[in-house]
Chain A
């Protein structure tokens, strides 16, 4: 890990964490499967806190059931509670799928959830039961992004069947915004090849008004499509630090021989070009004119705005994959991401960044894993960036140090419309570029003695 110009001292406690806990990611992923209810096997509090947290970003009802441990459960095991909970949630929500994730507590007491589920099925009779997906997500072994990927992989393991190859693509798009998911779906449709995108919470977490309470909001990846993923022609998987052995596409490749194409999140022109090239190759169709146009507009905008951003320094934080891809994009427009930080700890961040930014070291770009906001703030004082880019959690630091914050990713709970932000593709890059340029302009305009009205 780089330590150049670092002010960091080793500290024991985490102060203002730059990560969330594993089951949160799993619940989010489960929300992207059609007719699926997330279920946390553990204490009530975890489910409630996670719901509250997700609600503050998505502003949608998010029902997560819990097996609600009590003292007895903790001593004698969660089998009874889990079974009763599954029965109740089935009765009340009538789900087709229940996505079960463990919390630290059920993991630590060593509940054998697959065994309990087997037992439950035997008692209840398999026929009318919802399908159960199980993700083991103790929080002390990772962060929310790990829980997310574990749940996606579990879903595929549960549903995917092999069989004759179909003319179909899988896209595992990672933890992105509902708006990004919609955009990706639009792109895939334009290429005309059937596809399965997992998870798809574009509607379940950013939907319309209801006349009645939807116990499970409409939308999500159909389970039949997940079943087909084993016979797809190929999988595309976003995520620089997501390794095959932990990923859904990796599982499909290993089990059913579906080729896995892993790439960073397509942010910036180069990464998006790569994504479209991959789509052209896999679908054997040229990029639709519409996206050629989007690309042209973006190149044009880069030219129009380049002087405002060249040489500006940014501090970037958030999920590792997002940070890596954002950093590559920033380099494309001449911004130096002087610090790229994440609370995650894949151990791969710097390596992956070097692949995308070969002059990383010469530029003295610091890459830090496993950090919290106190670390980042300390660095900010030394590095004196022009602005911050990351989620809402950096607001306190931005206010205290008078640094502008450009909000991206998750969570955005101090602004409106976080779920509708684009980050990916030419369109998403365009939005990000415009925001960054405007941030610089606004700063200049406000700090200019004249307060000019033309730029």
Chain B
């Protein structure tokens, strides 16, 4: 066993090139924007993934399509059934297909192999469509995947959609765009017959642990038709006719705003941005939709009724959690910044304050909003890494970290509670019931007696 390590975490300095992406809200702090939307600094252990990841995340829940990752095996292997997006029917999205390029393919090109793979897979699985993701290597060797897709689409009579998601050609956000481009090719192809005037599409809701079903039910109770949930529990046919809806309701602003904007341009469908996390934002997302249909006051009435009933149902439990959690401090580091806003509000509902707020992909406006929202003393970070995150968690004495799989062990190692707010979660956190689960999970982790043994609590010898 080694002797005591030199404990110098808290004395670390930020890397040159990262200082501008970290901001502490204090009285004397300089004004100006937080640097963001940059590619990650080389050698900084960024928590971000790549363009491909962005595309895969968005399109993943389309359950009746096959998703084929064109490239060497890794990218496909690491994304095999990794997310908690569930389907009410077909489950093709949970399979992992790859052209698994070998050395000779890299040298001579992988188009033939892709073509053959596509034909065989389509014959075997009879999907409604196929998405072909090009990964780093493909961008390099220059396979013409568009041509292959076109050819196969013609032969097989289903949409075969290229997703240009070479990992190095930008950030995760560019992957969202590539996914939206692919979806845009589908939209407008189906019949809009039978679509009511009081109808919406739900965008950027991925049906993790069935969240889209919860949200959909609220809207349907309000008397609104939901045409497509893009892409939670997604179906190709729904997407194809989604241009018939009256309004796009966009959650997770980072991923699908592009699509909403394009649909507005092309089909004149307006969009609103919402969030389904926390009582406050969830209620607002129902009201905002209701407001869009002023000629039908019954919709608003129904929305109010839902909010009232739901909150009433969970209120007593929530008070219990709040009593225990009041005064505790949380750190947030998630993918999109929009989610951070909701989380701050949700945490305030249960009496907690936020001491660190960060995201992988926030933009200037997001960080401006964050600055305004956050309390004095809060640290705001863009594209952070484990060393920085742990430094702030310890410095600010956070009791809880909210993040994803890669952040989880950081929290646990340091004896800090954790709540998973990423794409792999198996418990729904959206909607009113989701807020209850969220509070419960936070409570169960923060209040667990196991932390007494953590070194920072003086527990372990």
CB distance from B225 to the nearest CB of A (A): 35
**0 or 1 for each of A105-125: is its CB under 8 Å from B? (1 = yes):** 100110000000000000000
**Which A residues fall within an 8 A CB radius of B?**
11-17, 19-21, 23-24, 39, 42-53, 55-56, 59-71, 73-74, 81-82, 84-89, 91-93, 103-105, 108-109, 138-141, 143, 208-215, 218-219, 393, 396
Q: Check B195 for interface membership: any CB of A closer than 8 A.
A: no
Chain A residues whose C-beta falls within 8 Å of the C-beta of B120 in the assembled complex: 11-13
Taken together as a complex, chains A and B put the C-alpha atoms of A73 and B136 apart, in Å, by 12
Taken together as a complex, chains A and B put the C-alpha atoms of A309 and B233 apart, in Å, by 43
**Do A140 and B105 touch (CB < 8 A)?**
yes
Chain A residues whose C-beta falls within 8 Å of the C-beta of B312 in the assembled complex: none
Chain A residues whose C-beta falls within 8 Å of the C-beta of B460 in the assembled complex: 208-209
Chain A residues whose C-beta falls within 8 Å of the C-beta of B72 in the assembled complex: 21, 104, 138-140
Chain A residues whose C-beta falls within 8 Å of the C-beta of B45 in the assembled complex: 47, 63-66, 89, 92
Contact stretch, chosen from B269-277, B281-289, B303-311, B448-456: B448-456
Question: In the complex, which residue of chain B has the Cβ closest to the Cβ of A106?
Answer: B136
**Do B117 and A12 touch (CB < 8 A)?**
yes
Chain B residues whose C-beta falls within 8 Å of the C-beta of A61 in the assembled complex: 386, 409-410, 413
Taken together as a complex, chains A and B put the C-alpha atoms of A53 and B406 apart, in Å, by 9
Chain B residues whose C-beta falls within 8 Å of the C-beta of A104 in the assembled complex: 71-72, 74, 106, 136-137
**Do A14 and B97 touch (CB < 8 A)?**
yes
- Other A-B contacts than A52-B78, A63-B45, A103-B136, 15 sampled, CB-CB below 8 A, are A14-B98, A16-B96, A17-B73, A19-B77, A44-B50, A70-B168, A70-B170, A74-B168, A84-B42, A91-B15, A104-B136, A105-B140, A209-B453, A212-B9, A396-B81
Chain A residues whose C-beta falls within 8 Å of the C-beta of B105 in the assembled complex: 140
**Which of B16, B42, B100 is in CB contact (< 8 Å) with A67?**
B42
**Which of A12, A16, A66, A143 is in CB contact (< 8 Å) with B80?**
A16
Contact stretch, chosen from B320-328, B344-352, B387-395: B387-395
**Do B73 and A21 touch (CB < 8 A)?**
yes
**Do B106 and A140 touch (CB < 8 A)?**
yes
Interface size on B, residues (CB 8 A): 84
**Which of B15, B385, B413 is in CB contact (< 8 Å) with A60?**
B413
Q: A48-B49, A87-B43 are in contact. Are A213 and B390 (CB under 8 A)?
A: yes
Chain B residues whose C-beta falls within 8 Å of the C-beta of A209 in the assembled complex: 413-415, 453-455, 460
Chain B residues whose C-beta falls within 8 Å of the C-beta of A66 in the assembled complex: 40, 42-43, 45-46
Please report which residues of chain B, range 89-143, place their CB below 8 angstroms from some CB of chain A when the two chains form the complex: 94-103, 105-106, 113, 116-118, 120-121, 136-137, 139-141
Taken together as a complex, chains A and B put the C-alpha atoms of A213 and B414 apart, in Å, by 7
10 nearest A-B pairs in the assembled complex, by CB-CB distance: A45-B50, A21-B74, A88-B43, A85-B43, A213-B390, A13-B117, A211-B455, A85-B42, A49-B78, A14-B100
**Do A215 and B387 touch (CB < 8 A)?**
yes
**0 or 1 for each of B225-256: is its CB under 8 Å from A? (1 = yes):** 00000000000000000000000000000000
Chain A residues whose C-beta falls within 8 Å of the C-beta of B139 in the assembled complex: 74
Question: In the complex, which residue of chain B has the Cβ closest to the Cβ of A9?
Answer: B120
**Do A89 and B136 touch (CB < 8 A)?**
no
Chain B residues whose C-beta falls within 8 Å of the C-beta of A20 in the assembled complex: 73-74, 77-78
Q: Check B169 for interface membership: any CB of A closer than 8 A.
A: yes
CB distance from B100 to the nearest CB of A (A): 4
Chain B residues whose C-beta falls within 8 Å of the C-beta of A59 in the assembled complex: 408-409, 412
**Do A141 and B77 touch (CB < 8 A)?**
no
Q: A63-B45, A92-B15, A213-B413 are in contact. Are A17 and B406 (CB under 8 A)?
A: no
- A sample of 27 cross-chain residue pairs with beta-carbon separation below 8 angstroms, ordered by A number, consists of A13-B100, A17-B77, A17-B80, A21-B77, A44-B46, A44-B167, A45-B50, A46-B75, A50-B74, A50-B78, A53-B78, A55-B408, A55-B409, A61-B413, A67-B42, A68-B40, A70-B169, A71-B168, A87-B43, A105-B137, A108-B140, A109-B140, A138-B103, A139-B72, A209-B454, A211-B456, A212-B7
**Do B75 and A48 touch (CB < 8 A)?**
no
**Do B74 and A24 touch (CB < 8 A)?**
yes
**0 or 1 for each of B134-161: is its CB under 8 Å from A? (1 = yes):** 0011011100000000000000000000
Question: In the complex, which residue of chain A has the Cβ closest to the Cβ of B96?
Answer: A16
**Do A88 and B136 touch (CB < 8 A)?**
no
CB distance from B408 to the nearest CB of A (A): 7
Q: A13-B98, A211-B455 are in contact. Are A88 and B76 (CB under 8 A)?
A: no
**Which of B71, B405, B415 is in CB contact (< 8 Å) with A52?**
B405
Question: In the complex, which residue of chain B has the Cβ closest to the Cβ of A84?
Answer: B42
Question: In the complex, which residue of chain B has the Cβ closest to the Cβ of A210?
Answer: B413
CB distance from A10 to the nearest CB of B (A): 10
**Which of B39, B74, B106 is in CB contact (< 8 Å) with A46?**
B74
Chain A residues whose C-beta falls within 8 Å of the C-beta of B118 in the assembled complex: 13
Q: Check B265 for interface membership: any CB of A closer than 8 A.
A: no
Question: In the complex, which residue of chain B has the Cβ closest to the Cβ of A105?
Answer: B136
Taken together as a complex, chains A and B put the C-alpha atoms of A248 and B412 apart, in Å, by 35
Q: Check B52 for interface membership: any CB of A closer than 8 A.
A: yes
Max chain B CB contacts within 10 Å: which of A14, A45, A219? A45
CB distance from B407 to the nearest CB of A (A): 9
Chain A residues whose C-beta falls within 8 Å of the C-beta of B59 in the assembled complex: none
**Do A48 and B50 touch (CB < 8 A)?**
yes
Q: Check B299 for interface membership: any CB of A closer than 8 A.
A: no
Q: Check B421 for interface membership: any CB of A closer than 8 A.
A: no
Chain B residues whose C-beta falls within 8 Å of the C-beta of A212 in the assembled complex: 5, 7-10, 390, 394, 414
